[in-house]
Amino acid sequence: MLIVTKQISLSIGHRLLNYEGPCKNIHGHNIKLEFVFSPKLYGPNPKDGFVVDFGKIKKELGEWADETFDHAMIINPYDKDLIDFLTDKSKCFIMPDEGSIGLSNPTMENMVVLFYKKALKFAERNHIKLHSIRLYESDTAWVDKINEID
Ligand SMILES: [Zn+2]
């Protein structure tokens, strides 16, 4: 089976609420994202020679990620102090309210779900399968979200 991977890099800021560790402070990460796709069906290579054009991934997913998250502060919707202080002064992305502080925190685990949902729609439009998304917080720490539905 063929799988193709496109990597993009983003610089983001965040802080975590209800958390005792360095990420409770406002700080930044240079994160990397890997979008991994495969053909829908097992079999020979696609007729045009591509699973999906890397340029198309860069244009559709990369540009969206850049515009939405690059050099933005990623904020928990329960973080009213930061929202009040920052949203009219700087690029921000407010995480979806998932019903609790923990589920709405801008952790790599919660953020990878955002990228996954967007990549799933891209895959459907392009008649390919989303294999997985990998989100690197650093060179030595990352989160994978694997598509377990065939
Ligand atoms: Zn952090």
Q: What is the mean pLDDT of residues 112-132?
A: 96
2: confidence class by pLDDT, cuts 50, 70, 90: confident
Q: Is the pTM of this model over 0.85?
A: yes
Span from the CA of 21 to the centroid of ligand 1 (angstroms): 9
Residues 25-37: pLDDT tens digits?
999 999 999 999 9
Span from the CA of 12 to the centroid of ligand 1 (angstroms): 9
Q: What is the mean pLDDT of residues 41-47?
A: 65
Is 84 a residue whose pLDDT tops 90?
yes
Span from the CA of 15 to the centroid of ligand 1 (angstroms): 6
| Gap between the terminal Cα atoms of the chain | 14
Residue 8: strand, helix, or coil? strand
Q: What is the mean pLDDT of residues 92-97?
A: 98
Span from the CA of 123 to the centroid of ligand 1 (angstroms): 29
50: confidence class by pLDDT, cuts 50, 70, 90: confident
Is 150 a residue whose pLDDT tops 90?
no
Q: What per-residue confidence (pLDDT) applies to 49?
A: 79
Q: Where are the domains of the chain?
A: 4-146
Q: What is the mean pLDDT of residues 64-82?
A: 98
Span from the CA of 149 to the centroid of ligand 1 (angstroms): 30
Q: What is the tally of helices (H) and strands (E) in the chain?
A: 5, 6
Q: 136: which strand partners?
A: 32, 142
Span from the CA of 78 to the centroid of ligand 1 (angstroms): 17
Span from the CA of 84 to the centroid of ligand 1 (angstroms): 21
Q: What is the mean pLDDT of residues 1-21?
A: 95
CATH topology of domain 4-146: Tetrahydropterin Synthase; Chain A (3.30.479)
Span from the CA of 145 to the centroid of ligand 1 (angstroms): 19
CA distances for 23 relative to 84, 122, 133, angstroms: 20, 31, 22
Q: What per-residue confidence (pLDDT) applies to 125?
A: 94
Span from the CA of 46 to the centroid of ligand 1 (angstroms): 40
Is 46 a residue whose pLDDT tops 80?
no
Which residues are CB-neighbours of 42 under 8 A, at least 6 positions away?
Answer: 1
Q: What per-residue confidence (pLDDT) applies to 43?
A: 60
